[in-house]
Structure 1
Amino acid sequence: MSEWWKYSLSDFLMFSSRSYYRLIESYNAAIWPAHFLALVAGVIVLGAIARPRQHLRRSAALVLAAAWGWVAWAYHLERYAEINTAAPYFAVAFAVHALLLCWLAYRPSNAAPAPQPLALGLSGLAILAYPLLALARDGGQWRQAEVFGIVPDPTVVATLGVLLAWRAPAIFWLVPVLWCLVSGATLMELKIGHAWLLPALALTAVVARVMGSKTPRDLNSTANPQS
Structure 2
Amino acid sequence: MSEWWTYSLEDFLLFSPRVYWRMFELHNAMVCPLQALTLVCGLVMVALIVRRSPASRRFVALVFAILWAFVGWSFLWNRYATINWAAAYLAPAFAGEALLLFVIGTLIDGLVFCRRGPAAWTGYALLAFALAGQPLLAPLQGRAWTSSEIFGVAPDPTSIGTLGFLLLARSKFLPLLLPIPLLWCSLSGLTLMSMGAPEAWASFAAVALALAACIGAIINEQRPTAR
**TM-score using structure 2 length:** 0.89
Instruction: State the shift of 1:99 in Å.
Output: 0.6
Match of 1:202 among 202, 207, 215: 207
Q: What amino acid does structure 2 have at the position aligned with 1:189? A: S
- What TM-score comes out, normalization by structure 1 length? 0.89
C-alpha displacement of 1:113: 6.1
Q: Deviations over 1:131-173 (max 9, x none)?
A: 01111113x1110110000000000010001110003421211
CA–CA distance in 1 between the matches of 2:183 and 2:150?
20
| Aligned equivalent of 1:212 | 217
1:90 aligned to 2:65? no
Choose which of 158, 167, 170 in structure 2 pairs with 1:164: 167
Which residue in 2 is equivalent to 1:152? 155
Runs (5+) with no aligned partner, structure 2: none
Match for residue 224 of structure 1?
Answer: none
Partner of 2:132: 128
User: Residue 109 of structure 1: CA displacement?
Assistant: 3.5
The 1-side partners of 2:205 and 2:224 are apart by: 25
Q: Is the 8 A contact 1:48 1:56 kept in 2?
A: yes
Please state if 1:21 is matched with 2:24.
no
How far has the Cα of 1:209 moved from its partner?
1.7
Judged with a 3 Å threshold, the aligned counterparts in structure 2 of structure 1 residues 193 and 219 are, in CA distance, closer, same or farther, namely farther
Aligned match of 1:177: 182
In 1, Cα distance between equivalents of 2:10 and 2:116: 45
Give the direction of change, closer, same or farther, for the CA distance of 1:76–1:210 in structure 2 (3 Å limit).
same
CA distance in 2, matches of 1:120, 1:49: 10
Aligned length: 220
Q: Runs of 5+ in structure 1 lacking a partner?
A: 222-227
Alpha-carbon distance in 1 for matches of 2:219, 2:31: 44
Q: Which residue of 2 aligns with 1:111?
A: 113
- d(CA) in 1 for partners of 2:146 and 2:77? 21
SS state of the match for residue 38, structure 1? helix
